[in-house]
Amino acid sequence: MSARAILAALILGSVLSFAIAGCSTLGPVTACLTHPRDCN
């Protein structure tokens, strides 16, 4: 893997973990913001 691919994977992982942590604390609001399809 190139450095750029590794960096992209790290960023994606941190964003995903932040979204999961936000959902556990803020609930539906964060889920709605991060995944608009869940609002419907």
- Backbone conformation region of residue 2, classed left if phi is above 0, alpha if psi is from -120 to 50, else beta: beta
State which H helix or E strand residue 18 sits in: helix 3-26
Tell me what pLDDT residue 30 has: 67
The domain tally of the chain equals 1
Tell me what pLDDT residue 8 has: 93
Domain span holding position 25: 3-39
Does this model's pTM top 0.75? My answer is no
Cβ neighbors of 31 (< 8 A, separation 6 or more) are 23, 38
pLDDT digits over 1-40, tens only? 799 999 999 999 888 888 777 656 666 776 777 766 756 5
